[in-house]
Structure 1
Amino acid sequence: MIKNSYGLHALVIFLSAFLLFVVEPVAAKHLLPYFGGGSSVWAVSLLFFTGVLYLGYLYVLFLTRLPKKRQVVVHVSIISLVSCVALLALVAWHSIYPPLEWTLGTDWPVFTVLVALIVSIGAPFFLLSTTSPLIQYWWGVSSQKEPYRLYALSNAGSLLALASYPFVIEPIMAQQSAEGLWLAVFFLYTLMYALLAKHFPSANFERKDIRADAGEKGASTSQKWAWIALAALPSALLVGVTSQITDVIAPVPLLWVVPLATYLVTLIIAFEGYGTSGFMALALLVLGVMYFEPPAFLQNIFFQVLSYLALLFFAGLVCHAKLYALRPKTVALPLYYHFVSLGGMLGVFCMSIIAPLLFNDFWEFPIVIALAAALAALMIPKKWFFRFKPRYVWAAKVILIFFIAGIFANFVKEDRLDPLGRGYTLISSTRNFYGVAKVQSEEGTTRTLVHGRTVHGMQFESPDRKLLPTLYYTPTSGVGRALMYAQKSHSDHLRIGVLGLGTATIASYCRPNDAYVFYEIDPRIVDIAKTQFSYLASCKGAEVRIGDARMLLEKELLAGEAGKYDVLAVDAFSDDSVPVHLLTVQALALYEKHLRGSGSIIAIHTSNRYLSLAPVVMRLAAARGLNAMIVDDTGDGDPSWSPSQWVIVTNDTEVFHATAFANVNSWIPEKQGPLWTDDYSSLLPILNVPL
């Protein structure tokens, strides 16, 4: 019978979870170009996902208080309405996503990301979010069996979806095709969901068992707070770990998937009844201490990322196993999931919205780790304290908590989040949607801009040296050579386009009649470049256009206002993170259309600690029929110079024979790089993690 069929109930739950978690990376990737490609897009997306999930669970809580026939009428109506919305979107836009050009140049990126997600996938996501708790409840009260293992199955479906996106769906399917397939499976799911709902009223059970509010009296206030807290901590840590990883590598779905998959694995294990061993709490405690007092091997980025994922895994397992142990009877299941989803949403909300308002650096991450370590200390089994009396056991645990508080206080005192360390005086530190930016001075000799963990510009403070190019923009760098070539080969009225502002060091090459146009998505960086550094002010022909560079270039082209640039420098990468939409075949084609002529140059900055970007650019150039040369600069000419790597792209091979490009340290990649497009951009072939 359908009404008691475990297999059908399980299939619908599995399918809904799969659809739910496939659409998450697809939706976030769709938004990336409109909001600069930063990791904050994913953090805010997580807030949307957990928020709508909470609304879905809240809806289930109130729905299950209705008589069973009314439950079905209401829910089938919701299923029908959402299906109609999805069909209308398909007819209107040939996609579930509407045009998002209206989001460009917004002053409220967090609010705009949320609105964009609501407009595009809000209705389908809401329906999908109701499936697991509602079907678990229906099956549980119908069969009189505990349904919580279905929650483990739901998370297994989510995990499969996350794994399939970067390794199966993205590599073999265009984004539009993936969206079409998703919609087809979604409509199949709605039919199966409605079929289950139709047979629910014929289930045989007592009237008292169907009223979800009958079980609410059995849940104490302290138990409800425990449900919220145990759900909030892992979700907060999920946001923190994801931000740490994507801020230093790249904000792409592949790297978002790994922490989220780790989080889901802990839910699967916990709701299968495992993970209660005291060794889980001990591992979490040790990892927490190691974060504040790291051994030498954690300076390696590979082991650092592994330690973050291990922290998330053990924190999630400890909390979720305790959540499972505190589960109520089936009759109170909707209430239980309501508070669990509320905790998950609050954890993400605090990390995504509250923390950036309170802190000018990523202090929420060490705070959450300290809380997780303290919880681990509390959850160490009493039997491990031998035959100590209970008060001595509690005293030992309090001592452990004070120890954690002490190493956290020392961490804060030494400001270990500062990438430059001692010897620098902090002038300003600001944080917004696009990350943390610090301006620091080194004993009054230089002034430096640091974004995340990477230095993005440096200027001498002495009048005789303050307009010299430094770091990655020196005369022997790829962009320095490109600019000097343009100065010697073209007129005295050069037009230079620069994607990414930083300190505007490139403006040090500006001559009186030159025009330099900078594209910068972060208004705060514009303010820093104007008030804390003088490169921009020294160039009379400098102009800054605020917004995502690619979107602005496309808009200018449509308006018939091509840049006609002699050199177009692509240097819009914050930290070591790469907005991938700026390095695709379509992006390079756009850059070409903004050049003055065949002798013009596109200079792409490919310096990166963890990604081998030069082979990607070389492949893009080959795909477009252009000539390209890698320029590796050791930065040995002056202490203020840094090693850099640029790829020079042009239509004219004679450019590379010019004096400006003499004695260049260049090389040809042994292995062809992947061809990145707007639909596909895999990091796996170019990942270069030092071991």
Structure 2
Amino acid sequence: MTRKIESMMNPSASGAATAVDRRSVVLFALTVFVSAYLLFQVQPLISKFILPWFGGSPSVWTAAMLFFQCVLFGGYVYAHLVSHYASPRVQSWLHIALLVGAALLAFFVIPGESLKPSGAEDPIGRILLLLGVSVGLPYFCLATTGPLIQYWYTQVFPGRSAYRLYALSNLGSFLALLSFPYLFEPNFELTRMGHFWTVGFWVFAALCATVTVWMHRLSHRRPIHLAPAPAAPEVSVEPIALRRRMSWVALPALASLAFIATTDHVSHNVAPEPRLWIAALGLYLLTFIVSFDHPRWYRRAWVAAAVLITTVLLSGRKEIPDWFGLELDFGVAGMRWSHLIVMFLACFMAHGELYRRRPANPRHLTEFYLWMSFGGACGGLFVALVATNFFADYYEWSLFLLAAIGLGCVVLAQEAAAAGRRLTGVLSAAFLLLGGAVLYWEDPLHWRSAADDEYTETLTHQSRNFYGTVSVAERRYRDDPTKDYRVFFSGQVTHGVQFLDPAKRRQPTTYYSEGSGVGETLRYAMEKKPSLRVAIIGLGAGTLATYARDTDDYDLYEINPQVVEVATRWFDNVPQCRARTKQIILGDARLKMAELPADVRYDVIALDAFSGGSVPIHLLTKEAFDIYRRHLKPDGFIAAHITNAYLNLYPVVKRQAEHLNIGFRNKYQPGLPERRIRHNQYFVMTNDAEYLRRYPSVNRQYFDPNGKLIGTQDPNLPGVPLWTDHFSSLNSIEIDD
């Protein structure tokens, strides 16, 4: 093993290298490898742990990546300053002190209950504070290791390249990401994984301290070549141009933007699942590994052309096939991997170009990593702070696609110039043409969807925050004003419709009609009892509030303050609700319900948070349903709205009903477009035998064009495990047709 590592780090080393030489190389390699492994395993670990604390929002990962990238940049600043302005003796003592402090704090990597948010705080600020308290110093210490150890390596082994050591660190990071979902997550709880990580950090600290002490001892002696060094090439000592330094920032910033924008874009359309985060981050790291291992892997023209082709195909995936008479249906897996492929190629191009601009002189090594990490942090800062606060929609996705097309055209122009051809004008025109096509297909400002043959649509409100985007539109029909309505969108998914005609204004529409599972449940409970206490988790347009009587009490849970504003300003379901008492409880429903006194019991708990593109998984786990059951009356109902275009949630909630030992039914209702009723599916849990007898399960039925029944769908899927806070997977419930 030692021979393999030493050979990898120094391919030209002769067989006469001593055992001391090999041990030295192994020590450097293991220290960098272990630090990189820990650096990237803690990211999904702590992000998944705090995900339920912030409503299961995909922006938890975005905010966490902002923290990790900024701390990584801080670690690189430390490495650069220490290596250039501190003596070897000061370097050693300072780093040992840092290691000791970080090792003591590594025990607190899993945040305590005292750090849970109350719901009133700024989510991004709270996440940054929480991560800083729990893992800040240990992560900073790990972040310093890569550039500092590589710099020390160039001092001990003059003439050798440290970039393979950087590729080795990225390999460690890549293996950490693979091991989390496939080795650790299925077999260990998050708290146990946190203990493993702490032990791993102590192992790293021992390795790094050994290297540091060894460097301290060498600093008192003449520098020693521990292994035969190849002849050092001629290295320019000229100052590096500003333009080159700017590329050290711009290229990793583009790659970081590609990674975060892609993860955000897919998460908001499916679910904020750690496995998706890991897949995206793993591919992002893989481009580092391949690019920095050897220049032979990055073929500029081929990669740039692939970026242009795949970007255009992804943007026009719904319209390009029509040109050729094809029908392509992107399921969950297809959508996910098509986006990840585009991200991978764009990152590969950016990191390949970055490697081509690397400094040859080791004197600039830590500065190179410093600017590179700053560029990566810029991508996270742009999405988490600028885009979230100043964009009304996810425009950063379109910006990334345009930037990738622009860089691809520049690379092709440079390759053409190197071959003696001047194609700058042609490629500039190609950028305008391809960029315009992407903007047309992506339609970020919704120009193309503003009108229809039957109605005109006016966007009356649009906003964005940590939890996503919300918008309100009015559709007014040319032939019949009684059909006019107002619609509420969360992202691209309809979350409520209300007619503008006063005579139809109180009609429950979309997924909440009286024939839906929740409508039947509420009507039955109202027949049975003169007054009800109802909890609605997920406010939407407040349509379910139209069922309330003046003897009922309604608690409406909503985590997104912008949804509350929409429901109370643009719709009047909640303001005109007839309930005796009604209150909107702002914050994560699970956390807020867990804080309720034990004597607070509901007749009906309606779970209406799963129809959108981003499913809050933490509301579907065993721990969540234990809370619901604790606050449910013995004869009460849990009505889960499980309509979803991408995921079959039936087996998930069925397993929860079996865990609670409670009866259940499934109700599928087909759509009625003329009444603005969409097809919907509810899973109702109750021990009320009369209800279960009166309302048996109704599964989806399929008919041929002549109206003849073809078959009935069985929504159950075998082998879906009980979801818990520690393990849940979307792979087995994805809908791909």
Using the size of structure 2 for normalisation, the TM-score is 0.87
| Separation of aligned partners in 2, 1:356 and 1:229 | 21
| Separation of aligned partners in 1, 2:621 and 2:518 | 20
Deviates more, 1:325-334 or 1:199-208: 199-208
| Separation of aligned partners in 1, 2:491 and 2:136 | 32
| Separation of aligned partners in 1, 2:488 and 2:204 | 51
* 2:59 paired residue number: 40
Q: Is the 8 A contact 1:298 1:304 kept in 2?
A: no
| 1:319 and 2:319 matched | no
| Separation of aligned partners in 1, 2:186 and 2:67 | 26
Q: Is the 8 A contact 1:520 1:548 kept in 2?
A: yes
| Separation of aligned partners in 1, 2:22 and 2:202 | 21
| Separation of aligned partners in 2, 1:418 and 1:192 | 59
| Separation of aligned partners in 1, 2:552 and 2:506 | 16
> Residue type of the partner of 1:278?
A
| 1:623 and 2:659 matched | yes
* 2:584 paired residue number: 544
Look up the SS of the partner of 1:537 in the other structure.
coil
CA 1:347–1:454: 2 relative to 1, 3 Å? same
* 2:494 paired residue number: 455
CA 1:678–1:414: 2 relative to 1, 3 Å? closer
The structure with the larger Rg is 2
Q: Is the 8 A contact 1:250 1:578 kept in 2?
A: yes
> Residue type of the partner of 1:556?
L
* 1:231 paired residue number: 252
Q: Is the 8 A contact 1:419 1:453 kept in 2?
A: no
* 1:75 paired residue number: 95
| Separation of aligned partners in 1, 2:195 and 2:146 | 24
1:600-651, Cα deviation, whole Å (9 max, x unpaired): 1001111112211110111111112111222111134854111111111113
| Separation of aligned partners in 1, 2:603 and 2:307 | 55
| Separation of aligned partners in 2, 1:665 and 1:171 | 32
* 1:351 paired residue number: 383
| Separation of aligned partners in 1, 2:666 and 2:398 | 40
| Separation of aligned partners in 2, 1:64 and 1:3 | 24
Deviates more, 1:417-426 or 1:446-455: 417-426
Offset of 1:352 from its aligned partner? 1.7
1:178-210, Cα deviation, whole Å (9 max, x unpaired): 11111111111111110111101344797899x
Q: Is the 8 A contact 2:83 2:91 kept in 1?
A: yes
| 1:148 and 2:188 matched | no
* 2:4 paired residue number: none
Look up the SS of the partner of 2:403 in the other structure.
helix
CA 1:247–1:413: 2 relative to 1, 3 Å? closer
CA 1:685–1:418: 2 relative to 1, 3 Å? farther
CA 1:668–1:448: 2 relative to 1, 3 Å? closer
* 1:676 paired residue number: 723
* 1:331 paired residue number: 363
**Which of 262, 270, 278 is the matching residue for 1:257?**
278
Look up the SS of the partner of 1:5 in the other structure.
helix
* 1:92 paired residue number: none
Look up the SS of the partner of 2:423 in the other structure.
helix
Q: Is the 8 A contact 1:451 1:574 kept in 2?
A: no
Q: Is the 8 A contact 1:674 1:685 kept in 2?
A: no
CA 1:409–1:689: 2 relative to 1, 3 Å? closer
| Separation of aligned partners in 2, 1:670 and 1:292 | 33
Correspondence list, 1:654-665, <5 A: 654-658=690-694, 661=695, 664-665=698-699
| Separation of aligned partners in 2, 1:678 and 1:303 | 27
Correspondence list, 1:274-293, <5 A: 274-293=297-316
* 1:584 paired residue number: 621
Look up the SS of the partner of 1:280 in the other structure.
helix
Give unmatched runs, 5+ long, in structure 2: 1-19, 226-234, 322-326, 478-483, 701-713
* 1:362 paired residue number: 394
| 1:300 and 2:321 matched | no
CA 1:226–1:105: 2 relative to 1, 3 Å? same
Look up the SS of the partner of 1:535 in the other structure.
coil
| Separation of aligned partners in 2, 1:543 and 1:253 | 33
Deviates more, 1:78-87 or 1:259-268: 78-87
Count, aligned residues? 671
1:219-270, Cα deviation, whole Å (9 max, x unpaired): 2211110100011001001111001111111112111111111111111110
Offset of 1:291 from its aligned partner? 4.1
Look up the SS of the partner of 1:232 in the other structure.
helix
| Separation of aligned partners in 1, 2:447 and 2:686 | 41
Look up the SS of the partner of 1:424 in the other structure.
strand
* 1:122 paired residue number: 136
Look up the SS of the partner of 1:536 in the other structure.
coil
**Which of 2, 5, 13 is the matching residue for 2:32?**
13
| 1:472 and 2:511 matched | yes
Correspondence list, 1:364-379, <5 A: 364-379=396-411
Offset of 1:215 from its aligned partner? 9.6
| Separation of aligned partners in 1, 2:546 and 2:524 | 15
Q: Is the 8 A contact 2:398 2:439 kept in 1?
A: no
| Separation of aligned partners in 1, 2:259 and 2:485 | 37
| Separation of aligned partners in 1, 2:408 and 2:211 | 42
| 1:271 and 2:295 matched | no
> Residue type of the partner of 2:608?
D
Q: Is the 8 A contact 2:76 2:144 kept in 1?
A: yes
1:92-126, Cα deviation, whole Å (9 max, x unpaired): xxx63222555221341111111111111111111
* 1:652 paired residue number: 688
CA 1:385–1:78: 2 relative to 1, 3 Å? closer
Offset of 1:574 from its aligned partner? 6.6
| 1:555 and 2:589 matched | no
Using the size of structure 1 for normalisation, the TM-score is 0.92
Correspondence list, 1:636-651, <5 A: 636=672, 638-651=674-687
CA 1:455–1:100: 2 relative to 1, 3 Å? farther
Offset of 1:33 from its aligned partner? 1.3
CA 1:383–1:64: 2 relative to 1, 3 Å? closer
Q: Is the 8 A contact 1:618 1:673 kept in 2?
A: no
Q: Is the 8 A contact 1:374 1:404 kept in 2?
A: no
Look up the SS of the partner of 2:186 in the other structure.
helix
Give unmatched runs, 5+ long, in structure 1: 90-94
1:509-560, Cα deviation, whole Å (9 max, x unpaired): 1112111111000111111101101111121322100000000001113xx4
* 1:109 paired residue number: 123
* 1:310 paired residue number: 341
Q: Is the 8 A contact 1:141 1:331 kept in 2?
A: no
Offset of 1:151 from its aligned partner? 1.1
Look up the SS of the partner of 1:496 in the other structure.
strand
Offset of 1:664 from its aligned partner? 3.4
Look up the SS of the partner of 1:655 in the other structure.
helix
| 1:221 and 2:261 matched | no
Q: Is the 8 A contact 2:395 2:444 kept in 1?
A: no
| Separation of aligned partners in 2, 1:404 and 1:208 | 56
| Separation of aligned partners in 2, 1:232 and 1:500 | 36
| Separation of aligned partners in 1, 2:424 and 2:541 | 54
Offset of 1:385 from its aligned partner? 7.4
CA 1:603–1:333: 2 relative to 1, 3 Å? same
C-alpha RMSD of the superposition? 2.5
| Separation of aligned partners in 1, 2:22 and 2:236 | 23
Q: Is the 8 A contact 1:619 1:672 kept in 2?
A: no
| Separation of aligned partners in 2, 1:159 and 1:418 | 41
1:374-433, Cα deviation, whole Å (9 max, x unpaired): 1100101656579765xx322223222332443355457784598897542211101111
Offset of 1:85 from its aligned partner? 2.0
> Residue type of the partner of 2:258?
L
